[in-house]
Amino acid sequence: MAGQKQQKDIGLKILTLNCWGVPVPVVCKHRNERMPAIGDAVANSDLDVAVFQEIWHKGDFDILKQRISKTLPYSHYFYSGSIGSGLCVFSKWPIGQTLYHRFDPNGYAHKVQHGDWFGGKGVGLAVITVGGVTLNVYITHIHAEYNRENDEYLAHRIAQAFSLSQFVKLTSLGADLSLVCGDLNLEPVDLGYRLILTNAGLGDCWLDKMTSDTSDKAGLTCDCPGNSYCPSKSAGKRIDYILYKAGNGVEATVSKCDVTMGRVPGKAFSYSDHEGVQAEITVKNSQNSIVPTPDPKTEVTPLLEESLGLLDEGLTVTRSGTRFFTIFAVLCLLLAYIITVVHIPYPLDFFVGVFRVALILATGYGVVQTLVMIRSEVHGLEAAREDVKNLLQHLKS
Amino acid sequence: MAGQKQQKDIGLKILTLNCWGVPVPVVCKHRNERMPAIGDAVANSDLDVAVFQEIWHKGDFDILKQRISKTLPYSHYFYSGSIGSGLCVFSKWPIGQTLYHRFDPNGYAHKVQHGDWFGGKGVGLAVITVGGVTLNVYITHIHAEYNRENDEYLAHRIAQAFSLSQFVKLTSLGADLSLVCGDLNLEPVDLGYRLILTNAGLGDCWLDKMTSDTSDKAGLTCDCPGNSYCPSKSAGKRIDYILYKAGNGVEATVSKCDVTMGRVPGKAFSYSDHEGVQAEITVKNSQNSIVPTPDPKTEVTPLLEESLGLLDEGLTVTRSGTRFFTIFAVLCLLLAYIITVVHIPYPLDFFVGVFRVALILATGYGVVQTLVMIRSEVHGLEAAREDVKNLLQHLKS
C-alpha cells in the first residue's frame, strides 16, 4: 500500500485501443481480419498491460485472449448491459480484484442506431499488484458525441464524466499508480475532459511525456486522415487517452507516449477506425508523500458550476419528453382504434392490420417511455446534479 | 486521512430505519402520519446521522427534511431507477462527496408486484468530514427475498451482496470510519451477510456492542411480533444493520447499539413495518495502525466458492428464460393472428379486440425480454461471477 517503506520501483508499458468491434458485417469492415491482427500485434510486443474498447462480441474477446495469452496471460472482460460494455483488459500480472461501475444515465434505448444504451456503459476497475506496487487500471468508454454542433447527449456525457471522476477519486486512495484508459469521446478542450482530470487529480500521459516517436504532434486518435477507415481530408481529434495518477509516497514519470496501432503490416487497412495510445511509465518511491491535488477554488469549482448548468438544461429537455411521449401514445392508440372500426376492403386490410400491430406496439412503447425510461433518465441526471452540488458546496466551505 | 498524526476523537450516534414509504394508500398504511412522526422523532433526538430506506416518494423526503433540518441540517437523496432508490441520509455535519453505485442485476421488470427493478437498487456513499475524521456512510437496500424456501432472486441477491462488499472495500481506504447501514434483506446466517462482513472487513454493531437497552436480545428488526403492522405470532428476523470498520491508525468502539423506533407515542401504530437500529460509536487514534482483515483462506475463500455455485445456478435458470420468452412471443403473435382472421360476432368482437391488443403487447414484451432484458441479466450475473473468480484466484495465489 502507498505510504509504506516498501521499495517500489517498476516500469510498465500500457496500450489502449478502441478496436471497432461492432458485430455488423457491412457496417464494420474487416473485423474478422483485424481482431487476430490486433491480438498478434499485442502478443509480439513488450507491453505489460493492454486495454480495449468496443469488443462487443464475446468471440472477438476469445480471439484476442487466444493470441495474447502467452504474452499477457491474465485477462478480464467487463460484462454489462444487453450487448456487453465492450471493455476488457489483458495483463502480464495477475488481476486481483475487479469492479464495474455502470454510468446512469446512458443514452436512449430508442436510438437503436447509436446503441450506447444497450452496452450499459461505465468504468471497469482492475486492481493489479506487482512488486509491492498496487496498480489500479480503469477502462472506460463514455457515451459517443455523434453531433458536435448539437449534442443531444451532452448532459448524459457530463454526468458520465463526473461519475467517472468521482469513482476514480474515491477508489484510487489505496493505489500507488492509477491509470484511466480508454475512449472518452471527449476532446481536450471539452468540459468533460477537464472535469475528469481536475476532479480525479489525473495527468494526461500524452501531455506529460518526456519523449515520443509519434510524428503527429497533436496526438490525434480518431477520424485521422491516415486511417484507412477515415476520409483523407478529416481533421482528426484526440479522444483516446491514458491518464495517470501517483499515490502517496510514490512518483510516476511518463518516459514515453505514442500514438500507435495504425496500419496492419502487409494490409491495406488499419487495425481499427481509432489509433491506439501507448505509454511507458516508471514508478518509484518519493520523499514527497502527499500528491499535489488541483486547487479547488481555481480549477474544480468553475467546472462544476458549468456542469451544473448543463445538467439543469438536460433535465428541462428530458422532462419535456414526458408530455411528448404521452401524446404520442394517445395518438397511436387513437389511430389504431380508428383503423379498426373503419371498414378496410381486401387486399388493403392485410397492410392496415400490420400497421395496427405497429401502432399498438408504439402505444406500449410510449407508455413505457413515459412511466419508466424518462423517469429513470431524470433520476440519473438528478443524481449527477446533486452529487455535483454536494462537491461544490464542500469545495466552497 | 487515516494514518496521519492528527488527533481523531469523536463519538457519534447513528440511526437506520426502513421507513416503509410505499406510495400506495391501501397497501401502505398511515404513511401520511408516520412520515412526520419519523421526522419529529429524529428532530427531537441527539442523533448525528440518520439514514433511511424506502423513501420512494419525493414528498416524503421533503417532509423528513422539513422536520429534521434544524437538528440535522445536511441531507442527500440518492436518485436512481424510475421510482428512486428510496435511500437518503441526514447529517449534523456537511456531506462533502456523494456517489451512487447501482447494482446489476436487480430483479425483473415484469415482477411489478415486487417492484425492486424499478428502484434501481444499489449503495449510496456519503463522505462526511468532521473534526479531522473522514466518515464514509454507505446506505443500501438489497433486493428483497419474498420467498425464503424458494428464493428466485438468490443469485441476484448474492451478486448484490458481493458488489456491495467490493464497493465498500475499494472506496473505504481513505476513511477513518466506514458505516454500512440499511436493510440488507439478509439474516445473519445467510451467505450474503457473511460475504459482506468478511470481504469488506466489517463488524456488526449489534454483535460488537458493549451495552444495549433493547429487551429483545436477538435484535430483531422485521416481522417483529410487537410491530403494529406484523402478525403477533410472527417469528421476526434481523435484517437491518449498522456495520462498521475503522481505518488505519484508528480504533472504533461500539459503546451502545439498540433496536429502536418502535411504536409512535400516543398512537396505535408503529413508525414503520421495520424497527430501526441505532448505534453509538467512538473513534480515536490507536497505535494499531493496521486494521485486522479476515484471513482469506479460512474466511473469505469458502464464501466465494459457495457464491460461485449459486451464481452459476442462477445463470442456468436465467439462460433458460430465453427459450421460454421466445415461445411465449411466438404463441402470443399466433393467437393474435388467429383471432384476427376468424370471424367474431357482435358484441363479442369488442372483447376479442381488447384481447388482441393485449396479445400484441405481450408479443412485444416477449421480444424485449429475449433480446434485451435476459441478455442484460445474464451479463450482470456473469460480471459478478468473473469478479468473484478473480478475487478467489487472488486469494488462493
Q: Which of the four pLDDT bands, split at 50, 70 and 90, describes residue B85?
A: very high
CA distances from B365 to A250, B119, B358, B374, B392 (A): 54, 20, 10, 12, 38
Residue owning grid cell 443469485: B155
The residue of chain B with its CA nearest to that of A98 is: B387
Question: How many contacts, defined by CB atoms under 8 Å, are there between A and B?
Answer: 144
Average pLDDT, chain B: 93
Residue B278 CA neighbour count, 13 Å, CB half: 20
pLDDT at B63: 98
Residue type, A35: M
pLDDT in tens, B307-342: 999 999 999 999 999 999 999 999 999 999 999 888
The Cα of B118 is separated from the nearest Cα of chain A by a number of Å equal to: 8
Across the interface, of A104, A360, A379, the residue whose CB is closest to B360 is A360
Q: Which grid cell is A21?
A: 468491434
pLDDT in tens, A211-221: 999 998 999 99
| Prediction ipTM score | 0.94
pTM of the model as a whole: 0.95
pLDDT at A286: 85
* Window 37-76 of B, Cβ < 8 Å to A: 76
CB A62 within 8 A of CB A69: no
pLDDT at A4: 45
Across the interface, of B81, B98, B340, the residue whose CB is closest to A387 is B98
CA distances from B236 to A222, A268, B187, B189, B211 (A): 60, 70, 10, 14, 22
Q: In this structure, what DSSP letter does residue A72 have? A: S
Least confident interval from A116-120, A251-255, B56-60, B264-268: A116-120
Beta B87-91 vs B95-102: how paired, if at all? Answer: unpaired
Series of mean pLDDT values for 10-residue runs along chain A (397 residues): 61 97 93 98 98 97 98 98 95 97 91 85 96 94 92 95 98 96 98 97 97 95 95 93 95 97 96 98 80 76 97 96 95 94 85 93 95 94 97 92
Residue type, A293: T
Q: Is B282 helix (H, G, I), strand (E, B) or coil?
A: strand
Residue type, A23: P
Q: Is A8 helix (H, G, I), strand (E, B) or coil?
A: coil
Cα R_g (chain A), whole angstroms: 23
* Window 315-374 of A, Cβ < 8 Å to B: 336, 340, 353, 357, 360-361, 364-365, 371-373
Residue B72 gets the label, from left (phi > 0), alpha (psi -120 to 50) or beta, of beta
* Window 73-132 of B, Cβ < 8 Å to A: 76-84, 94-102, 104, 109, 118, 120, 125, 127
Cβ–Cβ below 8 Å for A104 and B170: no
Cβ–Cβ below 8 Å for B397 and A94: yes
How many helices and strands (H and E) does chain A possess?
9, 12
CA distances from A36 to A43, A79, B375 (A): 10, 21, 26
Q: Could you give the angle at which helices A154-171 and A191-200 cross, rounded to 10 degrees? A: 10
Across the interface, of B96, B163, B373, the residue whose CB is closest to A390 is B96
Across the interface, of B81, B371, B373, the residue whose CB is closest to A379 is B81
The residue of chain A with its CA nearest to that of B78 is: A383
Cβ–Cβ below 8 Å for A78 and B383: yes
pLDDT in tens, A92-111: 999 999 999 999 999 988 88
Q: Is B17 helix (H, G, I), strand (E, B) or coil?
A: strand
* Window 259-278 of A, Cβ < 8 Å to B: none
pLDDT at A397: 84
The Cα of A213 is separated from the nearest Cα of chain B by a number of Å equal to: 36
Closest CA to A18 of A200, A223, A199, A172: A223
- Rounded to an integer, what distance in angstroms lies between the CA atom of residue B167 and that of residue A177? 19
The answer on pLDDT for B107 being more than 70 is yes
pLDDT in tens, A229-270: 999 888 999 999 999 999 989 999 999 999 999 999 999 999
Cβ–Cβ below 8 Å for A77 and B386: yes
pLDDT at B246: 95
Q: Where are the beta strands (DSSP E) in B168-266?
A: 177-183, 203-204, 240-246, 250-260
**What is the layout of strands, in order, in the sheet containing A177-183?**
A95-102, A122-130, A133-141, A177-183, A240-246, A203-204
Catalytic choice (A274, A343, A379, A394): A274
pLDDT in tens, B157-171: 999 999 999 999 999
pLDDT in tens, B115-159: 888 889 999 999 999 988 999 999 999 999 999 988 999 999 999
Across the interface, of A82, A174, A382, the residue whose CB is closest to B173 is A174
Closest CA to A139 of A183, A198, A173, A81: A183
CB B29 within 8 A of CB B269: yes
pLDDT at A1: 39
- Rounded to an integer, what distance in angstroms lies between the CA atom of residue B294 and that of residue B298? 8
Residue owning grid cell 517503506: A5
B336-339 long-range contacts, Cβ below 8 Å, gap at least 24?
B336/A357, B336/B360, B336/B363
Q: In this structure, what DSSP letter does residue B292 have? A: P
Residue owning grid cell 480525479: A200
How many helices and strands (H and E) does chain B possess?
9, 12
Closest CA to A126 of A47, A83, A163, A181: A181
Q: Which grid cell is B198?
A: 468478511
Residue owning grid cell 445538467: A311
pLDDT at A291: 64
Beta A49-55 vs A95-102: how paired, if at all? Answer: unpaired
- Rounded to an integer, what distance in angstroms lies between the CA atom of residue B347 and that of residue B92? 66
pLDDT in tens, B334-380: 999 999 888 888 888 889 989 999 999 999 999 999 999 999 999 99
pLDDT in tens, B64-83: 999 999 999 999 999 999 99
- Where b means 16+ CB within 10 Å and e means fewer, A330-351 reads eebbeebeeebeeeeeeeeeee
- Rounded to an integer, what distance in angstroms lies between the CA atom of residue A241 and that of residue A123? 14
- Rounded to an integer, what distance in angstroms lies between the CA atom of residue B351 and that of residue B359? 12
pLDDT at B3: 41
The residue of chain B with its CA nearest to that of A127 is: B170
Q: In this structure, what DSSP letter does residue A291 have? A: P
Question: Which residues make beta-bridge pairs with A18?
Answer: A53
CA distances from A236 to A150, A223, B165 (A): 19, 4, 43
pLDDT at B2: 40
CB A379 within 8 A of CB B379: no
Q: How many residues does chain B have?
A: 397
Residue type, B372: V
Give the distance, in angstroms, between the CA of residue A391 and the centroid of all CA atoms in the same chain: 23
